[in-house]
C-alpha cells in the first residue's frame, strides 16, 4: 500500500502589484501552439461572478495524456492562481489528466513568464502524504489509531475509540485543516480500510470537529 495519495495540484503566481498588468499581458502573449486564450469567455466569467478580480481563461488542445481543456487564472492580492481545470467537451478530468494539463501550462507559459518578470511560481505536488496535511503530533496519533485498530470494526473497540478520540481532539486543538474527504482517501487508499468503514470514520470525524468547534464558541 502507498503511504501517499494522488491529489489535484494547486498553482499560484506571486509578485509585486505594480507588475500585475505586465504579468497578464505576458501570460496571454505566451499562449501559442497547443494553447490559446479566450478573452471573450474570460469577460463573461468575470461578469457572471460579479467580481473586480481579473479572470483569464486559457484553452489547450487534447493529446494522448488528456482531452482538450480550459484552465482558469483568477487574480488574487498577490498575483494569480488556478482555481480549476475542466474538459472543454464533456465529463470530468481524472487527477492524472488535470495534473498533466497544469504541468503543461506551467512549463509552456507560467514558469517562463514568471521567471522573466520576477514573479514566484508555487505549485503543490501531485502525490502527498499525511505530513502535507497535519502536524507530526496529529499524524502520529492518526497512524497509531489506524495501525492498531481492527479495520473491520472501525473505532468501536474501547481501546480503538480512545486512540480515535485522541486524534480528533489533537486535530481540533491544533486547528488542523484536514478535511473529511482527504481523511477518507488516506484511510482507504494509503491505509487499506474498506470504503464503507473509511467513509463512516470520515463522517464521524467531520461531526466531531463541528461539535468541538461549537463547544468552544459556546463557552
| Buried/exposed code over 55-76 (b: 16+ C-beta within 10 A; e: otherwise) | bbbbbbeeeeebbebbbbbbbe
Report whether pLDDT(21) > 80.
yes
Please state, as a whole number, how many other Cβ atoms lie within 10 Å of the Cβ of residue 119: 24
- In the prediction, which pLDDT does 178 show? 93
Handedness of CA 16, 21, 26, 32 (dihedral sign): positive
Backbone angles phi, psi at 45, to 5 degrees: -65, -45
For the ranges 1-5, 9-13, 183-187, which has the lowest average pLDDT? 1-5
The pLDDT assigned to 1 comes to 45
pLDDT tens digit string along 162-200?
999 999 999 999 999 999 999 999 999 899 999 999 999
For residues 111 and 153, the answer to whether their CB atoms sit within 8 Å is no
For 198-217, write each residue's pLDDT tens digit.
999 999 999 999 999 999 99
Of 63, 62, 59, the closest CA to residue 72 belongs to 59
Report whether 147 contacts 193 (CB < 8 A): no
Backbone angles phi, psi at 57, to 5 degrees: -105, 120
Confidence (pLDDT) at 108: 97
- The tens digit of pLDDT for each residue in 31-85 reads 999 999 999 999 998 888 888 899 999 999 999 999 999 999 999 999 999 999 9
Question: If you average pLDDT over residues 120-144, what whole number do you get?
Answer: 94
Q: Quote the strand ranges of 15-117, DSSP E.
A: 35-37, 55-60, 69-75, 79-87
pTM of the model: 0.76
CA distance 93 to 99: 9
Q: Which of 101-105, 131-135, 153-157 has the highest mean pLDDT?
A: 101-105
Whether the predicted pLDDT of 123 surpasses 70? yes
Does residue 127 register a pLDDT over 50? yes
Q: What is the CB neighbour count within 10 angstroms for residue 171?
A: 25
Amino acid at each position: 500500500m502507498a503511504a501517499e495519495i494522488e491529489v489535484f495540484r494547486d498553482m499560484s503566481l506571486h509578485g509585486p502589484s505594480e507588475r500585475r498588468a505586465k504579468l497578464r499581458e505576458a501570460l496571454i502573449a505566451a499562449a501559442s501552439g497547443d494553447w490559446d486564450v479566450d478573452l471573450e469567455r474570460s469577460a463573461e466569467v468575470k461578469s457572471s461572478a460579479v467580481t473586480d478580480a481579473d479572470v483569464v481563461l486559457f484553452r489547450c488542445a487534447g493529446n494522448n495524456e488528456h482531452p482538450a481543456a480550459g484552465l482558469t487564472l483568477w487574480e488574487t492580492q498577490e498575483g494569480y492562481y488556478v482555481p480549476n481545470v475542466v474538459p472543454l467537451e464533456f465529463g470530468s478530468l481524472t487527477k492524472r489528466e488535470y495534473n498533466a494539463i497544469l504541468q503543461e501550462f506551467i512549463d509552456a507559459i507560467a514558469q517562463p513568464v514568471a521567471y522573466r518578470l520576477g514573479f514566484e511560481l508555487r505549485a503543490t505536488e501531485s502525490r502527498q502524504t499525511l505530513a502535507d496535511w497535519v502536524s507530526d503530533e496529529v499524524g502520529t496519533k492518526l497512524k497509531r489509531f489506524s495501525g492498531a485498530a481492527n479495520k473491520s470494526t472501525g473505532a468501536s473497540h474501547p481501546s480503538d475509540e480512545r486512540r480515535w478520540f485522541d486524534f480528533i481532539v489533537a486535530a481540533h486543538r491544533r486547528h488542523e485543516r484536514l478535511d473529511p474527504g482527504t481523511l477518507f482517501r488516506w484511510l482507504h487508499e494509503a491505509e487499506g480500510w474498506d470504503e464503507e468503514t473509511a467513509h463512516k470514520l470520515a463522517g464521524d470525524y467531520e461531526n466531531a470537529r463541528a461539535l468541538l468547534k461549537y463547544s468552544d464558541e459556546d463557552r
